Structure 1
Amino acid sequence: MLNVEELASQAQQIATQLGITKFDVYGATIDESSAQVDQGEPKQVEASTRSSVTVRVWNQAGTVGITSTTDVDPIGLEMALKTAQEASAFGAKEHIPDFSPEATKPIPPWPDTVVPPVPIERLVTTLLAAEKQLLAAHPAIVSVPYNGLSQQVIDRFYFNSEGAQRQERNAYTSLYLYSKTEMAGKKPRSAGGFRLGRSLDTLPIDDCLQEVIEKTISHLDYEKISSGKYRVVFSPEAFLSLLGAFSNLFNAQNVLDKQSLSTPESLGQTIASSLLSVNDDALHPDNITISHFDGEGTPTRCVPLIQNGVLTNFLHSAGTAKRLNAQPTGNANMGAKVTVSPHFFHVFSQVPAETHYDLETADNVVLIDDLHALHAGVSALEGSFSLPFDGWLIRDGQRTSIEAATVAGDFRQLLQSIIYVAPKAEVKPNGVCPYIWVDALAITGE
């Protein structure tokens, strides 16, 4: 584990020798091991250690230079500080970044949840067993073409010339399984599952297997769907994917760059059904990849984004907060340019629903389980989307897999059209979310 106090001391000595009075450093080191298998044999086994460090230096004129290195040692730090010092002469003269006003704010201590990684051989045997169980679940399942089991230990740190020092260590293990079927006279069908855990021993492998098996089998008997308007239910994973694709709604940097569906005046406006509330909560107890500070050293926190349908806050870096007269929220990413991004969405409802809906009794409802091609089918600046999906048409509570279809609409209209937020939420890698019912969306069948 890195000694951030020693590293900060070394950096300060080097900076003094170079005549640098103001600088900061953010970095991370990652130890990772992973395995993939194919038809009962190891396909790929990897282990790596990698580092990434970003250094910023301010000169006497107040402009800043930025550089990066992969060397977490005195020689690498010296080269990075020297390069950033030289680059500072060419730094931007408008909206110059500065230290976060909260970089030295105390952070309450947190429990150590890091579990030492297991030998890589155990990753291989565990994944081989999972593949074997999945292939044996149904004669139609002939392969698991995409799979992976990996474990990471991540050390993150931040320090600056004003005495700020942050460090944390996190570890997690992830599993991905994706099945493929073959049946005479039928198109190949697939289903996937992904799980995160703090260690291999706490990873819900059986839960992931059961999900993939049930979804795969449910897609074997499929039918075409007629194009038209349908009441649509988004699974937690699907809604979180869509929310992430349109996260420029909450991104203060996007707002300032005029690359957002929001403007500075959007705060306080109703943008969704009163049934919907959304937080960005980096410290949520179900967030396996929890972060206690961002790339600028700002402590992370729970940020209410939508409260009962009203846009309440933007996500900020220190720079965007200063320009919009707000407070940093702990969402900054350090790089060639400071960017802003969400951590972990928490979707819920605080308003009692007038009508309750149930998938077990639903009729003529489309249940969308997984959205595809978000990189191509989303126009984030226009708010529109047209996306292929995996899902089912529900008639009198009975689910029939949809052969092929796309769902299209306007995200802002979708938010306004939410008619029900189910009371029970599910934990996903990027958030906590229940099933979301939307009054009507356009479905186009094949």
Structure 2
Amino acid sequence: MMNTDSLIGQIKDAASQLGVRKFDVYGATVESSRAEVNQGVPKQVSASNRSSVMVRVWNSDGTVGVTSTTDTTPKGLEMALQTAYEASRFGAKEHVPDFSPLAAAPIEEMGDRTASQAPMDQLVDTLLDAERRLLDAHPAIVGVPYNGLSQRDLVRFYLNSEGAVRQESLSYSSVYFYSKTEEEGKKPRSGGAYRLGRSLQQLDIEGCWQEAAEKTISHIEYEKIKSGKYLVLFSPEAFLSILGAFSNLFNAQSVLDNQSLSTIESIGQAIASPLLSVNDNELHPKNIAATTFDGEGTPTGKVPLIEKGVLTNFLHSSITARRMNAQPTGNAGIGAKVSVSPNFFCVAPGSGENGDSYNIKTADNVIWIDELQALHSGVQSLQGSFSLPFDGWMIKGGDRVSIESATVAGDIRQLLKSIVCVEPEVKLTDGGVSPRVWVEGLSITGEG
């Protein structure tokens, strides 16, 4: 792994020798191993060690040059600083980035978050055993075409010429299964599940393959449904997917670029049902892969975005914060242009009495959307519209019946305002934490 202390010293020495007075550097190294299997034999095993460093240099005119390198030797770092300094002559003269005002602010103390990586043969054996159990769960399950077990060690750092220095190390592992069925006279059906843990030993592998099996089996018997408007229940994964697809609602850079459904004046306006509250919280206790600072060195943390339906904040870099008279939120990535992106969405659970009004055990004529598909092509993020195929069930008298094929369509602004229940129990997903969310009056196109 990268020796960050040595690297930071090399960068400072190179800057001093070149006479570069103002600079900052963000770097990371990732050491990973991964296994995939297929029908009882290893399909692919891989390991990698990748390092990257992003360098920004300001000249005496105040313009900035940016370069990146994977060469972390003293000579490579010196060349990166020199290249960035030369590029600064051609830097933009408007909205020039600067150091984050919070680059030296205290960050959350997370303790030791590292773990030893398991040997590759253990990854393969563990995955083969889980695949066998998943295949044995039902005669109709004939394959697990998509699966993977991976481990990752991550080291990150940030420093600038004003003395700010940040470093962190963390480890995490993940596993996923996506199984499929084949039966004569029936369409292939599928289901998947995902888990995250600090190490292989802490991964809930059994729970993962069991969830994948349960979902797959639940889709074996399916029916057509009629098109119309329905009360819709979104799984945590599905709701976070559609929220992420329209994250320009909260992105200050998108707002300033006129590439958002929000405007500067949107803060303080009701954009959703009062039942909905959302925050971006990279340091949520369930976020195994949490990082404590962003690409500009700004501490990450909890950013309230929607409070009881009202838009309360945008996600900011140091540039957008300066332009909008706000504070950076820890959501920046540095590059040729500083970007802004969400970290870890957290949808607040609803009240108990709210949840009791919509009980999945007694619901009838309700569409349960488990997984949204084609988000890359079915979302018009600047118009707010979406039309997305999905996997899910029709709930009839508390029983669920798999839907053969259907599409959900609508407008994200109307969807948010049509939320009628946010359940009290949240679930961890790869995109954040969320409970199930009930939405009234969504258009469903079926084949019935």
TM-score > 0.5 by shorter chain: yes
The one-letter amino acid of 1:9's match is G
The structural deviation recorded for 1:107 is 1.9
The structural deviation recorded for 1:68 is 0.4
Deviation readout 1:41-83 (Å, 9 max, x if unpaired): 0011101100111100001110000000012221211111011
> 1:174 corresponds to which residue?
174
> 2:388 corresponds to which residue?
387
3-state DSSP of counterpart to 1:369: strand
Checking the alignment, whether the CA contact within 8 Å between 2:152 and 2:171 is kept in structure 1 is yes
> 2:122 corresponds to which residue?
122
> 1:415 corresponds to which residue?
416
- Alpha-carbon distance in 1 for matches of 2:328, 2:112: 26
Deviation readout 1:335-391 (Å, 9 max, x if unpaired): 221101111111014666396111110000000000000000000100000000000
The one-letter amino acid of 1:97's match is P
Tell whether 2:368 aligns with 1:371.
no
Q: TM-score, normalised by structure 2?
A: 0.98
Checking the alignment, whether the CA contact within 8 Å between 1:5 and 1:165 is kept in structure 2 is no
The structural deviation recorded for 1:8 is 2.3
Tell whether 2:361 aligns with 1:360.
yes
The one-letter amino acid of 2:152's match is Q
> 1:221 corresponds to which residue?
221
Q: TM-score, normalised by structure 1?
A: 0.98
Aligned 1:191-206 pairs, distance under 5 A? 191-206=191-206
Checking the alignment, whether the CA contact within 8 Å between 1:172 and 1:199 is kept in structure 2 is yes
Unpaired stretches in structure 2, ≥5 consecutive residues: none
> 1:100 corresponds to which residue?
100
Distance 1:354 1:181, change over 3 A: closer
- Alpha-carbon distance in 2 for matches of 1:183, 1:271: 46
- Alpha-carbon distance in 2 for matches of 1:3, 1:51: 11
Deviation readout 1:108-160 (Å, 9 max, x if unpaired): 42211211101011000000001100111100000111111110001011011
Checking the alignment, whether the CA contact within 8 Å between 1:288 and 1:429 is kept in structure 2 is no
> 1:340 corresponds to which residue?
340
The structural deviation recorded for 1:6 is 3.0
- Alpha-carbon distance in 1 for matches of 2:350, 2:391: 30
Greater mean alpha carbon deviation, residues 151-160 or residues 6-15:
6-15
> 1:321 corresponds to which residue?
321
Checking the alignment, whether the CA contact within 8 Å between 2:229 and 2:441 is kept in structure 1 is yes
Tell whether 2:23 aligns with 1:19.
no
- Alpha-carbon distance in 2 for matches of 1:288, 1:372: 26
Checking the alignment, whether the CA contact within 8 Å between 2:349 and 2:434 is kept in structure 1 is no
- Tell me how many residue pairs correspond in the alignment: 446
The one-letter amino acid of 1:144's match is V
The structural deviation recorded for 1:106 is 2.1
- Alpha-carbon distance in 1 for matches of 2:252, 2:289: 23
- Alpha-carbon distance in 2 for matches of 1:275, 1:241: 19
> 1:266 corresponds to which residue?
266
Once superposed, what is the RMSD of the aligned Cα atoms? 1.1
- Alpha-carbon distance in 1 for matches of 2:64, 2:240: 36
Checking the alignment, whether the CA contact within 8 Å between 1:4 and 1:165 is kept in structure 2 is no
Checking the alignment, whether the CA contact within 8 Å between 1:41 and 1:128 is kept in structure 2 is yes
Tell whether 2:404 aligns with 1:403.
yes
3-state DSSP of counterpart to 1:171: strand
Tell whether 2:444 aligns with 1:437.
no
Deviation readout 1:229-249 (Å, 9 max, x if unpaired): 010000000000011100000
- Alpha-carbon distance in 2 for matches of 1:390, 1:354: 23
Greater mean alpha carbon deviation, residues 180-189 or residues 347-356:
347-356
> 1:246 corresponds to which residue?
246
Identity score, percent: 65
Checking the alignment, whether the CA contact within 8 Å between 2:349 and 2:435 is kept in structure 1 is no
> 1:234 corresponds to which residue?
234
Distance 1:108 1:391, change over 3 A: closer
The one-letter amino acid of 1:399's match is R
- Alpha-carbon distance in 1 for matches of 2:108, 2:333: 22
The one-letter amino acid of 1:118's match is A
